[in-house]
Structure 1
Amino acid sequence: MTEHELGELLAGHPVLYHMAEAGSWPSIRARGLLSTSALLDLYGVEGAAREAVEAQRRAASVVLEAPGLGRAVIRDNRPLNEARLARALPEDLPVAEWLRLLNGRVFFWLTRERLGRLLGARLYRDASHDVLEVEAASLVAAHRDRIELSPINSGVTDPFAAPRGRETFRPIADYPYADWRRARGRRGEAVVELAVQGGVPDIVRHVRRVVRMRGEVEEGVVWARVAPDVLEG
C-alpha cells in the first residue's frame, strides 16, 4: 500500500469501530484495549485454562478477575465453526495456531455496515454492547508499526469460510491494496479489518465516543470527548 492509497483509505473510513462487552469501557479506559493474549498475560492465566481461551472456540464469554485488577471480559467467538475453519486453512496451519493469531490482536471494522451486521447477528442482537468509535488517522499515526490489514472477516466461517492463512494479515506497507481494489471494484471493500498486534494501550487518546448499543439501536452514550449526557460506565 502506497502513502497515497493509505490516505485514500483513511479519507474513506475516518472512523473505526470495535464492539466490546457492555460495561467494559471503564476497564478498557484504565488499561487500554488489550488482545485476548495480552489480557491472559495480565491476569496470569496459564496452562489448560489459557489453552481453553486462547486456542479453542469460546462458546461463551470468559470473565477474568484478580486482586488489584478487577474484572475483564473476553468475548466469545461463537461465529466461528472449527470444522469449516480447518477446511479454510492451509494444511500446515492448525486451527489452534490460527486462533492464537486472532487472539494476539485487537480488531476494528472500517465501516458502520460491518459493525451493524455483527450487532444484528442472531447471536448478539438481543444483548447490549459497548461500541468504541475510534479516529482512524490518529490510531494509524500512533501504532502504524503494529497495524495489519485483512481483506476478509477473519473470525467467522458462515455462510462461507473464505480461505485464510498467515498472509491474511499484512502490514500496511505490504498490503496489496490496489489488487483488492481492482478485484472488488470501487464500491467494494479493499480492506475489511484493521488489526493491532497486542492491543492499543492508549486507546482513550483515539476514541471519539463509546456508545451502548443493542442491535443497531443506540441506547445511550457511555463516554465522549464532549458529551452533555452520558450513561454510567
Structure 2
Amino acid sequence: MDVPAFTQLFPKLYHLTFASNLPGIRQHGLLSTTALAKLHGFDEDELRATVTERRRCIQQLHGVTLRDQIPMNEKKMKTCLVGVSIPEWIALLNTKIFFFLSKEKALEFAGKYADYENVLLETDTAGLLTTHAEDATLCRIHPGAFLSNARPRGRNSFIPIAEYLYKKSRDTPAELTLDTAVPNILDISQITTLG
C-alpha cells in the first residue's frame, strides 16, 4: 500500500496521552518514552524502570506521566516473542510513538484510564506522513498487548507502509508507529480532553 492510498483509507490517526503531558508536548512536540528519558536526563535507575523493564503502574518522573504496561504479560511474552528478548522488546516499543487508526479503539483504550484526565490527539494523516512517512510503520496487532490469544511478534511485525499488504478491511492495521519525534503534532491535530 502506498502512502496516498493509506491516507485516503485512514485520513485521521489517534494518539492518547495524559492531559498532564500536554505542556511538554506544546514545548517539545510528541516524543517517545526513550526520547523523553533522554530529554529529561533520566538516571540509570529511572531508565531501567521506564525503558527496559515493564512498567507495572503509571509513573511520574521529571514532569512526565508514563502509562503502565500491564498488558505486557511476561509469561505470554516468553512464548510469543520471535528473535528478540523481553528487555529488547520493551526497549524497542519505548522508542516508538503509537497511533490508533480508529477513534473507537482510542476511546476504548482511554476508558481503561478513566480515573485520569486524558487528551486525545486526532491527527491529520496527510500532515503527519508528509514529513514522517519514512519513519512510519504499520503493525497488524497491538505490539504491547499480550493477552489470552497473543500472537507471535518480533522486529518484522513493524512493516513499512509501502510493504504493507491491504486488500480488504480485515487487513486493517492495529496501529501506526513512528520512530521519530513530531515537533509540530499540535499544528496537525485536534485536541479533545477526556474525563
Calculate the TM-score normalised by the size of structure 1. 0.78
**Paired residues of 2:20 and 2:64 also in contact (CA < 8 A):** no
**Structure 1 residue matching 2:99: 3-state secondary structure:** strand
**Paired residues of 2:100 and 2:176 also in contact (CA < 8 A):** yes
Q: Spell out the pairing of 1:119-198 with structure 2 (5 A cutoff).
A: 119-121=110-112, 124-175=113-164, 177-178=165-166, 181=167, 186-198=168-180
For 1:41, the equivalent position in structure 2 comes to: 38
Bigger helix share: 2
Report the CA distance between 1:205 and its aligned residue.
2.5
For 2:72, the equivalent position in structure 1 comes to: 80
Report the CA distance between 1:41 and its aligned residue.
0.5
Q: Spell out the pairing of 1:15-34 with structure 2 (5 A cutoff).
A: 15-34=12-31
For 1:199, the equivalent position in structure 2 comes to: 181
Question: What amino acid sits opposite 1:74 in the alignment?
Answer: L
Report the CA distance between 1:36 and its aligned residue.
0.4
For 2:86, the equivalent position in structure 1 comes to: 95
Q: 1:115 to 1:159 in 2, by over 3 A?
A: farther
Report the CA distance between 1:8 and its aligned residue.
2.9
For 1:106, the equivalent position in structure 2 comes to: 97
Question: What amino acid sits opposite 2:142 in the alignment?
Answer: N
For 2:48, the equivalent position in structure 1 comes to: 51
CA distance in 2, matches of 1:9, 1:56: 33
For 1:223, the equivalent position in structure 2 comes to: none
Question: What amino acid sits opposite 2:66 in the alignment?
Answer: I
**Structure 1 residue matching 2:191: 3-state secondary structure:** strand
Report the CA distance between 1:199 and its aligned residue.
2.5
**Structure 1 residue matching 2:16: 3-state secondary structure:** strand
Question: What amino acid sits opposite 1:130 in the alignment?
Answer: V
Does 2:6 correspond to 1:14? no
For 1:220, the equivalent position in structure 2 comes to: none
Bigger strand share: 1
Which runs of no fewer than 5 residues in structure 1 stay unpaired? 66-70, 215-233
**Structure 2 residue matching 1:119: 3-state secondary structure:** helix
**Structure 1 residue matching 2:157: 3-state secondary structure:** coil
Size of the aligned set, in residue pairs, is 195
Does 2:192 correspond to 1:211? yes
Report the CA distance between 1:76 and its aligned residue.
1.5
Identity among equivalent positions (%) equals 32
Large movers: runs of 4+ above 6 Å: none
Report the CA distance between 1:189 and its aligned residue.
4.0
**Paired residues of 1:37 and 1:198 also in contact (CA < 8 A):** no
Question: What amino acid sits opposite 1:98 in the alignment?
Answer: W
Which runs of no fewer than 5 residues in structure 2 stay unpaired? none
- Return the structure number with greater relative CO, CA threshold 8 A, min gap 6: 2
**Structure 2 residue matching 1:24: 3-state secondary structure:** helix
CA distance in 2, matches of 1:210, 1:83: 37
